[in-house]
Chain A
């Protein structure tokens, strides 16, 4: 029978059992709560495994406390879940090891990542922690775009990087902060050495 001759069956939409969407509740380290759909969670390998291991039902989600994500603040987590909700159901990309990686930043992602550098770096950290491959790719690409064609001096300004001298000074300061007496002892030792003393003590 051809497709044209097939009988048309009226479908009563109300009769189709609607699959109830499953939501999970998450809490950031500053106690902000988020409700995220099951499909969106699949973008994060870490969260996906976590909810699978917990085996929550719809009732559990409402009755039990929200799942705490201790390492990420509310502002960052909001961005992460916004991204996951927008890209839910999309295939997770597989890293083929090609260099340089070819990643396009979609318009939604570009708008989402139109944020200050500090938050963008936190977003990268969160994407890495929650193992959201595509979010990590686009956020890294965004940061890399900021560096293209910049001189070392410009890069230091963009990323707030210390110069080698500042780096060493900070190391020395940290060492001194750990042991404030160390420098005094060192100076005293040098002085005694110059004066011809054989032993310090």
Chain B
């Protein structure tokens, strides 16, 4: 009995709400249509997409409201505490946006100050929260402590199909299913807030001189620490045609200087190339 009364009461509330509801759908034009043709809100096949979307949304809402009333006597009888439970279904409007965003009210300088105290892991997590913090973290990367990453190695090779040199980042102890990351430069492969301690392999037909500046630059920025430099290709030499990583454009003195600049981290240099 009580649930029936509640049902009737809610039905009356629904009628009142719908009669007072002000929305674009209740614009004078739509109202005129509805009074003129009863069910004329159902769009004709030639009607526009936006109006049909609006209509379907309205129908969906109406269905939800009506179905809630249909189910209410059953659930209402089972749980008297949910006296006004059908009304919950009406609250499907957009959530109000959060009123206070205090942390983001701080200036960029203050947020950067806070970031200086965070460890790399927390910083990475913070950068994943929202756009502004992500940008701040990336812009302020050089002033932030970096996490050492030793799990990958860099391979620079010439792609014969695409006819261009590519840099690949591969897992050190990899399987066939492990993903590989490819880019046109080394910087594009390095993860943010990390320092890559890695082996760099120059494969055959790669002009080594093209990469020296970038390696030195990244080393200076403390983003890349080459532990081993491998210049491959000697075994691929056929007849008179020399192959391997191309070191012809670099003099011995320049090469020694390059290696010296990577000290004290560089542990190994393998010169297997025939060029």
B109's partner among A128, A155, A167, A187 (CB-CB below 8 A) is A128
How far, in angstroms, from A155 to B104 measured CA to CA in the complex? 12
B110 on the interface (CB 8 Å rule)? Answer: yes
Find chain B residues with CB under 8 A from A117 CB.
102-103
Within 8 A of B (CB), among A1-57: none
| Range of interface residues on B (Cβ < 8 Å) | 35 or more
Q: A151-B125, A152-B128, A155-B129 are in contact. List 15 more A-B contacts (CB 8 A).
A: A124-B106, A137-B113, A140-B110, A144-B114, A144-B118, A156-B129, A159-B129, A160-B100, A160-B103, A161-B103, A162-B101, A163-B129, A167-B130, A167-B132, A187-B50
In the assembled complex, the Cα of A137 lies from the Cα of B110 at a distance in Å of 10
Q: Is the C-beta of B55 less than 8 angstroms from some C-beta in chain A?
A: no
**Contacting pair A163 B102 (CB below 8 A):** no
User: In the assembled complex, which residues on chain B have CB atoms less than 8 Å from the CB atom of A140?
Assistant: 110, 113-114, 116-117
Q: Count CB-based A-B contacts (< 8 Å).
A: 113
Count of residues in A whose CB is under 8 Å from the partner chain: 41
Give a binary string over B114-147; 1 marks a CB under 8 Å from any A CB, 0 the rest. 1111110110011011111100000000011100
Are the C-beta atoms of B126 and A147 separated by less than 8 Å? Answer: yes
Residue of B nearest to A191 (CB): B48
Query: Known: A140-B113, A167-B131. Contact between A147 and B106, CB under 8 A?
Result: no
Query: Is there contact, CB below 8 Å, between B129 and A161?
Result: yes
Q: Which residues 37-93 of B sit at the A interface, judged by CB distance below 8 A?
A: 48-51
**Closest A residue by C-beta to B117:** A144
Contact A195:B48 (CB < 8 A) given known A100-B145, A140-B114:
yes
Chain A: minimal CB distance from B123 (Å): 9
Question: Is A194 interfacial (CB 8 A cutoff)?
Answer: yes
Cβ of B107 within 8 Å of any chain A Cβ, yes or no, is yes
Contact B100 A163 (CB under 8 A): no
Choose one: A141, A160, A167; the contact of B117 (CB below 8 Å): A141
Task: Tell me if A64 counts as interface (CB < 8 A to partner B).
Answer: no
Counting from the closest, the 8 A-B pairs by CB-CB distance are A144-B117, A159-B103, A152-B128, A140-B113, A140-B114, A161-B129, A100-B145, A121-B102
A194-B130 contact given A128-B107, A161-B103, CB 8 Å threshold: no
Question: Contacts A100-B116, A147-B122, A167-B131: A161 and B104 contacting too (C-beta < 8 A)?
Answer: yes
* SS of A interface (majority): helix
Contacts of A156 in B (CB 8 A): 129-130
Contact A191 B106 (CB under 8 A): no
Contacts of A144 in B (CB 8 A): 114-118, 122
- Is B97 among interface residues, defined by CB-CB distance under 8 A? yes
Complex interface: chain B residues within 8 A of A124 (CB): 106, 110, 113-114
Give bound CA distance, A154 to B197, whole Å. 31
Residues of B within 8 A of A152 (CB): 125-126, 128-129
Q: Is B176 an interface residue (CB 8 A)?
A: no
Docked complex: A47-88 residues within 8 A CB-CB of B = none
User: B35 near A: Cβ within 8 Å?
Assistant: no
A159 to B, closest residue via Cβ: B103
Q: A155 — which chain B residues lie within 8 A by C-beta?
A: 125-126, 129
B105 interface hit (Cβ, 8 Å): yes
B98 at the interface (CB under 8 A from A): yes
A15 and B102 CA atoms in complex are apart in Å by 55
Q: A106 on the interface (CB 8 Å rule)?
A: no
CA distance A48 to B97 in the complex (A): 42
14 A-B residue pairings within 8 Å (CB atoms): A99-B143, A117-B103, A121-B103, A125-B105, A128-B113, A147-B125, A150-B122, A152-B125, A152-B126, A161-B101, A161-B104, A162-B98, A163-B130, A195-B48
